[in-house]
Structure formats: structure tokens, C-alpha cells
């Protein structure tokens, strides 16, 4: 069961009716049962068993960590590292079992040889990548003393497995989510209407925009040796928007669903294509993942003795200002390698959503003096609208290059795609060329208009923190979105909406 399935369209209103129909003191327990049922329907009993055992292990370990912290800190460390190793071991066993094989395959390709192998077929438990980080973050905060260990196992299991956020995030932080998750307060009518509007907007992005873009992307990437030139350029740009509308749409559905129950989840996107640099892009895209790696990986790395020494060496060799950036740049490479690896055990992920961006951010960090000199010499106003547009387009192009790796099955495929982009094939700009993408003129028109709607909404959000909250306005917006989804959405008999892209990570 996914957010765009007919089962979920029945599941959500029934769950909401049960929630508001029972006494407030029972609502947390009901959410616990509803979340368990959702996990079974989405991933089977095996997923429920793996998650349940993982959450119980973390609950018990956190109690041990807190109890022995201080005078018997060594025992506390044993509890922490045992549970952390178990969580990461499960994740590695399901997600990275083929990583050595893919690594050997890429090495042989780089050396001009072929390597044939058959990947091991595994069925990873639903949402294991997301709830592993959620539970590990909670355990780490207990270890640091930032949050108290939860005594109630039901609360801890619900925290990591609350059904709207479990499948694809956002990655929860205990102190932020527990406030509304365990209260059972529910939501008022206006909050429910706003949440319903957000769900519809998420469905619009997924079913009207992302699924149409998927036609272009899948057509070109599945036969990339035939297509060339502008076809490949268009497919790369289309995939960037497809990935965004797919993932941001899922987040809107998740946050809207949680809001119906009066639960507030963290925002995960903030108009990333308005970014003027790669660093800003990743502060706006999958924000909870970036924050998790910054807080639980990067900061601890920078505090290690090795990186402290690296900083001292950098200051001696390059001066105080530049030298202190050396350990940060080095830490970026480690963190983004791990962040890319989190997406999957392939080097296309490690490069496309990891190391490539780390190199760009490190280069920007280390060349800050040159950038300041450029602005000083040219007297260019950083806030000039034309310059801002240029920076946003440049950032989009750089991000899309990374996403070519992300979408490719292998490094060879990514390199072939980049080579093919420079063939000069202009056949796309003919009627037959457009039809070769697998879309009719009507679908193309719908796609263009829906992308214009996406741009208008993004522009509104960028300049207005809150939309119009009046019920009559929200009602009209909901009606318009519902009409658009029913009329233009990709669904119905003979059509099976593809799973959300990030659901497999």
C-alpha cells in the first residue's frame, strides 16, 4: 500500500474516523495499532517483525545507556555501540549486500575489462533506511543526554514507526515529534482542511506532474544508446523535476496525513530550485536528512583529535581563515560519501548524491577569497535579479548533472549519457521528435501547464511564509486540486502508478 493507492484512499478516512471517535486517552494506542497495520499492508509481516525488534532493542539500549551514563560510562557505551551496530548491521545486510559486486564491476569497467556477475536478490523491510536513522538519532541523543530515555516501549515504537513519516520520511527527531504525537489532541476543522489541501497538492505533484515526466525519462533512459543530443539534455532536466515532484509530493502527503491527526512533522523541502548555490540547495532539499548527517556525523567528526590536528596544520600552512576550512572540506567528503551510500550500494548513488556535491561545496568553501575579490573587482551587486536568476539556473544545471549519475544504472551508462548530450541531434524540435518521447500533444500541454502551476505555487511559498488560511479559500483550492487530479491525473484501470522513487531507499 502506497500513498497513491486505492487502499490508502480507504485506509486514511477510516483511520481518522476511528481516531476522532475514540476517547483522547486511547488515541495514542490507536495510532500505534494503525501504524502497525499500515506497515503490514505496505511491507508484510516480515517488515513489521524487523522494525518491532529493532525498536524494542533501541528502547532497551537507551534505558541502559541512560542508567549507566556517568560513573559507569563504559557499560553505557557497550549498550550504545551494541544497539547501533545491530541497527547498522541490519541495514547493511539488506541494502548493501551487492555493494562489493558493484564496486568490482565499476573497477573492471574503469580498467577496460568486463565483469559479469549476478546481484543477490533481496527484499529489504519497508522503510528500513529511514527508521534506522530515526532510531539511531534518538539513541545518540540519549547517549549525549540531549533527551531522556523513553520508559514506555509503545511510545518509542510509535515514534519510529508513525505511519505517515515512516515510509519516506521526514526523519524524525524525538524532542520535536513527541510533543504532538503522544498528546492525542487531534486537530481542529481548519487544520484538517489545510492538511487535506496539502494531501491534494502532493497527489497533484505525483499523479499529474511526476508521472508524466516519468514517461519522458523512462523512454529516453531505457534506450539511451539510441537517443542523443537534446533528447538526453531534456531527459536530465525532466528527471530533476520528476524526482522533486515525486519526493516533495510524498512529503506533502505525509505532512498532510499527519496533520489530520494533529501531529506536526518537520518540513523536508523549501523550494530547492530557488537555490543560488549547491550548499543552499542541500539546505532546502531533504532537509531532515541533511540535518541528521550534520548533527550526528559531521560535527562529531570535526571534534575528533585527528581533525583538530588537521585544523592546526591548516592554520599553520594557509593562515587562520583559510586553514580552519581544511578540516571542514575533508569532513564534507566523508559525510557526503556516507550520505550517498545511504541511498544505496552503488557508486552512481555515492557520486550522484554524495561525492560530486561534496567536491562542489568544498571548492566553493575554499575559493571564498576569490569570490569576494570577484565581487569587489566587478562591483557586481549580489542581489541583482539577473545575477540571482543566473545563479539559480547554474545551480539547477549542476544539480541535474549529479542526478544523471543518480538515475544511471552504472558509471558507464552515466558517461555514455554525457557523451551523447554533445552529439548535436536537434530532432527533438520536430513533431516526430516530440512524439518519440512517448507523449501525445495533449499530455505535453497538460505537463507544461502543470509545471507552470508548480512554479507559481513555489514562487508564492518563496515570498509568503503562510498561504491564505481562510476556510473558503482553502475549500476552493481543494476543489480545484481535486478536479485537476481527477481530470488529468495518471491513474485508473490499466494504469499502475509507479512507486515513489525514494520508497526504495
For residue range 400-418, list pLDDT tens digits in order.
999 999 999 889 899 989 9
Residue 399 CB-half CA count within 13 A: 26
Domain termination residue (choose one: 148, 164, 186): 186
For the chain, give the mean pLDDT.
86
Q: Which phi and psi angles does 285 have, rounded to 5°?
A: -110, 130
Answer whether residue 333 is part of any domain: yes
Name which of 161, 135, 130 is nearest 60 in CA terms. 135
Q: Is 194 exposed, middle or buried (0-12, 13-18, 19+ CB in 10 A)?
A: buried
Q: Are residues 282 and 387 in the same domain?
A: yes
Q: Looking at residues 329-338, what average pLDDT do you find?
A: 92
Contact present, 54 and 125 (Cβ < 8 Å): no
How would you label 137-164 residue by residue, b for 16+ Cβ within 10 Å and e otherwise?
A: bbbbbbbeeebebbeeeebbbbbbbbbb
pLDDT (tens digit, 9 = 90+) per residue, 75-91? 999 999 999 999 999 99
What pLDDT shows up at residue 337? 94
Tell me how far CA of residue 94 lies from CA of 90, 199, 342, 504, in angstroms. Answer: 6, 31, 12, 12
Residue 130 CB-half CA count within 13 A: 24
pLDDT (tens digit, 9 = 90+) per residue, 196-224? 889 989 988 998 889 889 888 988 898 88
Domain termination residue (choose one: 380, 401, 422): 401
Q: Looking at residues 481-496, what average pLDDT do you find?
A: 62
**Mind giving me the DSSP string for 50-115?**
HHHHHHHHHHHHHHHHHHHTTTTHHHHHHHHHHHHHHHHHHHHHHHSTTHHHHHHHHHHHHTT---
What is the SS3 assignment for 464? coil
Q: Looking at residues 101-115, what average pLDDT do you find?
A: 83
Q: Are residues 308 and 168 in the same domain?
A: no
Q: Are residues 96 and 135 in the same domain?
A: yes
Q: Looking at residues 257-282, what average pLDDT do you find?
A: 93
What pLDDT shows up at residue 281? 95
What pLDDT shows up at residue 292? 94
Tell me how far CA of residue 72 lies from CA of 75, 79, 148, 422, in angstroms. Answer: 6, 11, 17, 63
Query: pLDDT confidence of 73, banded at 50, 70, 90?
Result: confident
Q: Looking at residues 93-104, what average pLDDT do you find?
A: 86
Answer whether residue 320 is part of any domain: yes
Q: How many residues does the chain have?
A: 505
Answer whether residue 229 is part of any domain: yes
CB under 8 A, 24+ apart: contacts of 55-58: 55/131, 55/135, 55/153, 55/156, 55/157, 55/160, 55/161, 56/153, 56/157, 57/83, 57/86, 57/87, 58/83, 58/87, 58/135, 58/136, 58/138, 58/139, 58/156, 58/160
- Could you say which DSSP state residue 286 is in? S
Answer whether residue 414 is part of any domain: no
What pLDDT shows up at residue 323? 83
Q: Are residues 179 and 66 in the same domain?
A: yes
Contact present, 367 and 203 (Cβ < 8 Å): no
Answer whether residue 484 is part of any domain: yes
Residue 372 structural domain: 276-401
Strand partners, 285: 269
Answer whether residue 458 is part of any domain: yes
Query: What DSSP element (H or E) covers 42?
Result: helix 27-68
- CA 292 from chain center: how many Å? 12
pLDDT (tens digit, 9 = 90+) per residue, 21-56? 999 889 999 999 999 999 999 888 988 999 999 999
What pLDDT shows up at residue 429? 61
Query: What DSSP element (H or E) covers 195?
Result: helix 189-203
Answer whether residue 357 is part of any domain: yes
Q: Are residues 295 and 334 in the same domain?
A: yes
Answer whether residue 291 is part of any domain: yes
Q: Are residues 22 and 143 in the same domain?
A: yes
What pLDDT shows up at residue 101? 85
pLDDT (tens digit, 9 = 90+) per residue, 138-179? 999 999 999 999 999 999 999 999 999 987 889 999 999 988
Q: Are residues 391 and 505 in the same domain?
A: no
Q: Are residues 251 and 200 in the same domain?
A: yes
Q: Looking at residues 310-314, what average pLDDT do you find?
A: 86
Domain termination residue (choose one: 363, 381, 401): 401
Q: Are residues 113 and 172 in the same domain?
A: yes
Query: What DSSP element (H or E) covers 431?
Result: helix 431-435
Query: pLDDT confidence of 494, banded at 50, 70, 90?
Result: very low
Q: Is 176 exposed, middle or buried (0-12, 13-18, 19+ CB in 10 A)?
A: middle
Q: Looking at residues 119-124, what average pLDDT do you find?
A: 77
Q: Looking at residues 422-435, what average pLDDT do you find?
A: 68
CA angle 278, 280, 285 (to 5 degrees): 90
Q: Are residues 262 and 282 in the same domain?
A: no
Q: Which phi and psi angles does 243 have, rounded to 5°?
A: -60, -40
Q: Looking at residues 332-340, what average pLDDT do you find?
A: 93
Contact present, 211 and 490 (Cβ < 8 Å): yes
pLDDT (tens digit, 9 = 90+) per residue, 283-306? 999 999 999 999 999 999 989 989
How would you label 396-431 residue by residue, b for 16+ Cβ within 10 Å and e otherwise?
A: bebbbbbbbbbbbebbebbebbeebbeeebeebeee
Q: Are residues 252 and 153 in the same domain?
A: no
pTM of the model: 0.90
Q: Are residues 264 and 312 in the same domain?
A: no
Domain count of the fold of the chain: 3
Residue 393 CB-half CA count within 13 A: 6
Amino acid at each position: 500500500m502506497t500513498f497513491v493507492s486505492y487502499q490508502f484512499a480507504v485506509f486514511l478516512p477510516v483511520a481518522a474516523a476511528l481516531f476522532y471517535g475514540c476517547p483522547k486517552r486511547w488515541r495514542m494506542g490507536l495510532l500505534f495499532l494503525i501504524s502497525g497495520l499500515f506497515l503490514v499492508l505496505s511491507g508484510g509481516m516480515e517488515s513489521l517483525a524487523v522494525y518491532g525488534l529493532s525498536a524494542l532493542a533501541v528502547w532497551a539500549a537507551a534505558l541502559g545507556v541512560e542508567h549507566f551514563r556517568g560513573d559507569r560510562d563504559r557499560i553505557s557505551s557497550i549498550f550504545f555501540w551494541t544497539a547501533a551496530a545491530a541497527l547498522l548491521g541490519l541495514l547493511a545486510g539488506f541494502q548493501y549486500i551487492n555493494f562489493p559486486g558493484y564496486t568490482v564491476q565499476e573497477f573492471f569497467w574503469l580498467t577496460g575489462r568486463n565483469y559479469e556477475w549476478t546481484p543477490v536478490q533481496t527484499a529489504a523491510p519497508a522503510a528500513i533506511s529511514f527508521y534506522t536513522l530515526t532510531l539511531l538519532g534518538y539513541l545518540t541523543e540519549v547517549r549525549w543526554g540531549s533527551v531522556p530515555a523513553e520508559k514506555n516501549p509503545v511510545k518509542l515504537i510509535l515514534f519510529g514507526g508513525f505511519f505517515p513519516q515512516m515510509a519516506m520520511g521526514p526523519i524524525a527527531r524525538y524532542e520535536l515529534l513527541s510533543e504532538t504525537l503522544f498528546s492525542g489532541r487531534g486537530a481542529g476543522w481548519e487544520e484538517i482542511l489545510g492538511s487535506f489541501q496539502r494531501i491534494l497538492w502532493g497527489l497533484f505533484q505525483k499523479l499529474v506532474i511526476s508521472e508524466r515526466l516519468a514517461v519522458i525519462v523512462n523512454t529516453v533512459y531505457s534506450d539511451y544508446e539510441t537517443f542523443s543530443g537534446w533528447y538526453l539534455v531534456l531527459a536530465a532536466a525532466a528527471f530533476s523535476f520528476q524526482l522533486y515532484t515525486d519526493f516533495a509530493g510524498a512529503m506533502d502527503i505525509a505532512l498532510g496525513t499527519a496533520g489530520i491527526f494533529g501531529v506536526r512533522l518537520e518540513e523536508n523541502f523549501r523550494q530547492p530550485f530557488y537555490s543560488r548555490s549547491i550548499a543552499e540547495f542541500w539546505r532546502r532539499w531533504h532537509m531532515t536528512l541533511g540535518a541528521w548527517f550534520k548533527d550526528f556525523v559531521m560535527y562529531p567528526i570535526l571534534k575528533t583529535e585527528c581533525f583538530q590536528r588537521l585544523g592546526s596544520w591548516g592554520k599553520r600552512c594557509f593562515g587562520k581563515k583559510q586553514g580552519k576550512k581544511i578540516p571542514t572540506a575533508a569532513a564534507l567528503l566523508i559525510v557526503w560519501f556516507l550520505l550517498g551510500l545511504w541511498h544505496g550500494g552503488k557508486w552512481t548513488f555515492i557520486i550522484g548524491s554524495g561525492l560530486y556535491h561534496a567536491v562542489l561545496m568544498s571548492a566553493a568553501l575554499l575559493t571564498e577569497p576569490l569570490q569576494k575579490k570577484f565581487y569587489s573587482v566587478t562591483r557586481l551587486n549580489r542581489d541583482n535579479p539577473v545575477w540571482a536568476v543566473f545563479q539559480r539556473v547554474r545551480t539547477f544545471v549542476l544539480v541535474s548533472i549529479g542526478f544523471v549519475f543518480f538515475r544511471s544504472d552504472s558509471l558507464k551508462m552515466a558517461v555514455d549519457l554525457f557523451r551523447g548530450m554533445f552529439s548535436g541531434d536537434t530532432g527533438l524540435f520536430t513533431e516526430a521528435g516530440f512524439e518519440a518521447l512517448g507523449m501525445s500533444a495533449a499530455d505535453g500541454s497538460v505537463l507544461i501547464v502543470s509545471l507552470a502551476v508548480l512554479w507559481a505555487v513555489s514562487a508564492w511559498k518563496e515570498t509568503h511564509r503562510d498561504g491564505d488560511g481562510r476556510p473558503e479559500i482553502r475549500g476552493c483550492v481543494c476543489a480545484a486540486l481535486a478536479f485537476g487530479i481527477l481530470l488529468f491525473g495518471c491513474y485508473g484501470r490499466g494504469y499502475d502508478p509507479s512507486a515513489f522513487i525514494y520508497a526504495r531507499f
